[in-house]
Amino acid sequence: MLGIAFDGVQACELLAFNKPDIIILDIIMPHLDGLGVLEKLKELYNDEIPIVIILSAMGQDKITQRALDLGAEYYVLKPFDIEVLFKRIRQLNVFSGKGSESIKLKADKSLGVLIDQDIEFQVTQIMLDLGFPAHINGYNFLRTAVILSINEPNFIKNITRNLYPKIALGFETTPSRVERSIRHAIEVAWGRGNASIFQKVLGYSAEEGNPKPTNSEFIAMLSDKLRLQTKA
């Protein structure tokens, strides 16, 4: 660790003489806030700034988007799980090419997450096989929900409080609209009657008289399946 700064001005002074691999930056700081530090970083490093992870208790869309526009790679809302932060640091370090491993990740700046492109492809393929129409909003919301839940299983524990608001923020809509659209997408796919695919992929059969899976059941089943596959 190169150092700790307790305000934005001190942070800029420290960064003027060092180029760390990763900067963990708070938005709210005395003298100069985190957005101001990000603006200064572009001057200090000629636009090739280090990896920046923003920590903040503020989740306003405009502030989040401004931080990402200024070059931040990831935005973490307080309170947060420190182990999740460590995981993100390792992923971002690999993504930048500084790590020893090579994995296919892309930054989804609308959601502030890193997405494994292989997982993204698998989710997309399975949902199309299950009969989800790609042109409806629920398809995109559900696809995003599964990908987020693969990365962070804790999202499943309370999808109303955790998952729907996260998706809503990324798509600039409301959590209730996300919930309704996902429910509609599942109803459409279930109504098409592709029971063999549901059985093969999820082990959940329409032929046994089961009701259609709830939002949380479907997201949990598919994300768990793909998470286990990636560990195999």
Full pLDDT tens readout for the chain, 232 residues? 567 787 888 888 888 877 788 888 888 888 888 899 999 887 888 767 788 888 876 656 677 778 888 888 877 776 666 666 777 777 666 545 544 443 444 455 455 544 455 677 788 888 888 888 888 889 989 988 998 888 777 888 889 988 999 889 888 899 999 999 999 999 888 877 666 677 777 776 655 566 788 899 899 988 888 877 665 5
Which parts of the chain are beta strand (E)? 22-26, 51-56, 74-77, 105-108, 113-116
Q: What is the pLDDT of residue 156?
A: 83
State the Cα–Cα distance between residues 72 and 35, nearest whole angstrom.
10
Q: Is 110 a member of any domain?
A: no
List phi, psi (to 5°) of 207. Answer: -70, -20
Question: How far is it, in rounded angstroms, from Cα 171 to Cα 39?
Answer: 26
CA 178 to chain centre: 16
Residue finishing a domain among 69, 103, 137: 103
User: What confidence score (pLDDT) does residue 105 get?
Assistant: 45
CA distance 74 to 54: 6
Q: Which domain holds residue 216?
A: 116-231
- Is residue 126 domain-shared with residue 22, that is, in the same domain? no
Closest CA to 116 of 152, 156, 68, 141: 152
| Two tokens, residue 166 | 């996260």
Q: In terms of domains, do 178 and 83 share one?
A: no
**Lookup result for tokens 């923003």:** 54
Six-digit token pair at 223?
Answer: 């994300």
Q: Which helix (H) or strand (E) holds 45?
A: none
The residue to which tokens 């990402």 are assigned: 68
* The residue to which tokens 């700034």 are assigned: 49
Claim to verify: residue 88 and residue 127 sit in the same structural domain: no
DSSP state of 194: -
Asked if residue 202 and residue 162 are part of one domain, the reply reads: yes
